[in-house]
Amino acid sequence: MNGSYAVQNMLAHSALDLLPEEVLIVSRCGRVLAANRAARRSLPQLADASRQTLALADLCTQNELQLARWLHERARASNMAPGRLEFTGLGGRYTSVEVDAGGLNLPGLPELVVIRFRREAIFVRRILQLHKRIETLNTELTQTRNSTLRLRQLQRGLKSSNRRLRDLVSRDALTGLYNRRRFDSALVEYWLQAQRQQQPLAVVMIDIDAFKAFNDRHGHPAGDRCLKRVAQAIADTVRSEGDLAARYGGEEFVLLLPETRLHGAAYVAERVLAAVRQLAIPHGGLPGIAQVSISAGVAAGLPGQDAPANELLEAADAALYRAKRSGGNRVARATPTRSPAPAHPQHLRIPAVAKPPSHP
């Protein structure tokens, strides 16, 4: 089995194709041996099956000597490290991309370099651990088919590994919150559940105030640290079972709160605002803004049978826009999409962060 075929075979049976980030596996001499599905979509050169000897230099604007030195350093590194490559063919133009790259040493294969768009320090270790675990379970399943009890145990282990893999794919790499893809699917699930049970559902849209000015003043690394701290404050505040917190995109976050009315959702949003204020992250990007703050738009209601799932999301986004237009650092409520029918108090879930005030 030659090196290229072995690497492509490993990629085909690994979790790399499930990841939304582009991943390339390159030999130390610069030959592109394998690419996951996301990379093949982003780089049209990789989709041309007739090109069997594509080199990294064919994809990048850096000269071959620079790339050779960079690959030599990365192949000998034991950990992923950040770097920057300028690719051609991304949307038909030159695009500078931040990447993580590190050596990948597998038995029977030459020295390889894994290049991944964007950053996650433990990416290779996690993927290899999951890949090895799944391969081990599959091998053991083949060897013990005649043992029903052992077979069931292995199946449970495989399901557990797949659940961890799905959770990894559904998480935002920077903040650790759920990503946009997971939120979109959860919104439909929660909406249909609320329709069946005739229970209210709430959505809270959150945006960091003047975040572009913060990045311009302090730089993107500081912006990433700010996003992480705000995300952690959100996660620490929203702890009720069934509640979902996700990074919606850029500096925007979103909360899904099942069985929660408008006043309860607004109370949760106020708690998140207070938690971010307590971080006391210096801002200084614009006059009059001493520290980082957030704005939130809240919408809640009882889903109608024919209403679309994005109805609450649009209402919460409109409320967020009003909060931003009013100066930020505040919560704005949307008009309920539908007035819930009277219910016994035991059917109304109160957010776990604290008991809401009696007069919202």
Catalytic positions, written as ranges: 251
The answer for 84, left when phi > 0, alpha when psi is -120 to 50, beta otherwise, is beta
Give 239-244's long-range contacts (Cβ < 8 A, gap of 24+).
239/352, 239/353, 240/349, 240/351, 240/352, 240/353, 241/352, 243/351, 244/178, 244/182, 244/183, 244/186, 244/190
Identify the residue whose tokens are 């192949």. Answer: 75
Name every residue whose Cβ is closer than 8 Å to that of residue 181 and which is 6 or more positions away in sequence: 20, 170
* Strands lying side by side in the sheet with 201-208: 244-249, 252-258, 201-208, 294-301, 331-333
Residues linked to residue 112 through DSSP beta bridges, in sequence order:
27, 104
Q: What is the DSSP string of 277-328?
A: HHH--B--SSTT--B--EEEEEEEE---TT--TTHHHHHHHHHHHHHHHTTS
Name every residue whose Cβ is closer than 8 Å to that of residue 134 and which is 6 or more positions away in sequence: 15, 158, 161, 162, 165
Q: Show the tokens assigned to 333.
A: 């409520």
